[in-house]
Amino acid sequence: MHIRKILASLAVAAFSLELQPEALAWHDRTHLAIAEAAGFDLWYSAAAPDVAKSKAPFTPIESPNHYFNNNAGREVTAEMVRGQVDLYDRPDDIGEGHLYGAMIGSVRAYRTVRATGKYARYPLAYLAHYAGDLSMPLHNTGFDDFNRARHGINDGVIDAGVRDSVASIRKRMEVPVIGNEADFAREVARVAELARRLGMKMRRENRDMTAEEAYTQVTLSASLLKAVLAYAETPAAPAAENKP
Ligand SMILES: [Zn+2]
């Protein structure tokens, strides 16, 4: 790589670090509880993407998969979700992050590896993590002063007791039906938009999430994850059917 290109990519990396220095979203136990409530067999790996992310801050392949800043405050739509899919794992096009595309990209990655006959389940551990990040209000709204100041406390708002609440999360879950990638994009948009609106409400009221609100959010994540895991096991549709 040409030296100027290297310097340019380092500058991009440093810039993105400045934007999102330690925005981890839900703390580890909350991620685990979401994945366990969804019935994911590798639930104990659902915090691993944050571990992976911590290792390589100057090659931000992973970090932008965890948030979408939505600085313009646009309503999240299925089109917006689909527009991010090709950005999954792309350190050269960070923009405002591409969490929504990472949801779909990780399922496509799972199916691609599965087709080779190799062990394929690690992309689903990423999916389980992204499904958790998706309901976190501060991962769906701009990384502004409010977000910086309150990220840590909101990440941990239910973390201490959440591992004892897996059964009650399960009872509250309403699992959507996902039969194809269009359904998938629509359901990702629905959860993201609910999270974005809660993030804006927290700003207006200048406050943190309540525990009840946090449980509502993680229940949305667990419900979506359960549906996506079932969808991921179905045969991949021909690429043409996944076009908008
Ligand atoms: Zn994350």
Task: Give residue-wise pLDDT tens across range 155-199.
Answer: 899 999 999 999 999 999 999 999 999 999 999 999 999 999 999
Mean pLDDT of all residues in 223-228: 98
Query: In the predicted model, what is the mean pLDDT of residues 141-166?
Result: 92
CA–centroid distance, 184 to ligand 1, in Å, is: 20
Q: How far is the CA of 33 from the centre of ligand 1 (A)?
A: 14
Average pLDDT (103-127) is 96
Distance, CA 65 to ligand 1 centroid (Å)?
8
| C-alpha distances in Å from residue 91, one per residue of 53, 63, 107, 114, 216 | 12, 9, 19, 24, 32
Ligand 1 mean position, distance from CA 193 (Å): 18
pLDDT at residue 69 greater than cutoff 90: yes
In the reported structure, the alpha carbon of residue 240 is separated from the centroid of ligand 1 by a whole-number distance in angstroms of 31
pLDDT at 239 over 70: no
**How many Å is the maximal CA-CA distance in the chain?**
56
pLDDT band with cut points at 50, 70 and 90 for residue 21: very low
Question: Residue ranges of the domains in the chain?
Answer: 3-242
Please state which CATH class domain 3-242 belongs to.
mainly alpha
Tokens 């701009």 sit on residue: 142
Query: How far, in Å, is the centroid of ligand 1 from the Cα of 182?
Result: 24
pLDDT tier at 60 (50, 70, 90 boundaries)? confident
197: burial class by Cβ within 10 Å (0-12, 13-18, 19+)? Answer: middle
> What pLDDT was estimated at residue 15?
42
Which pair of structure tokens corresponds to residue 120?
């394929």
* Phi/psi of residue 56, nearest 5 degrees: -130, 60
| Cα dist from 132 to 75, 90, 152, 160, whole Å | 20, 21, 16, 16
Mean residue pLDDT across the chain = 89
Residue of 26 and 19 predicted with greater confidence:
26
CA atoms within 13 A of residue 51's CA, in its CB half-sphere: 9
Question: Ligand 1 center to residue 242 CA distance, Å?
Answer: 26
Ligand 1 centroid to residue 165 C-alpha, Å: 21
Statement: residue 19 has pLDDT above 70: no
24 C-alpha to ligand 1 centroid (Å): 5
Mean pLDDT of 104-124: 96
Handedness of CA 123, 129, 135, 139 (dihedral sign): negative
Q: For residues 233 and 169, give the distance between their C-alpha atoms in angstroms, rounded to a whole number.
A: 23
**For the whole model, what pTM was predicted?**
0.88
Q: Report the residue count for the chain.
A: 244
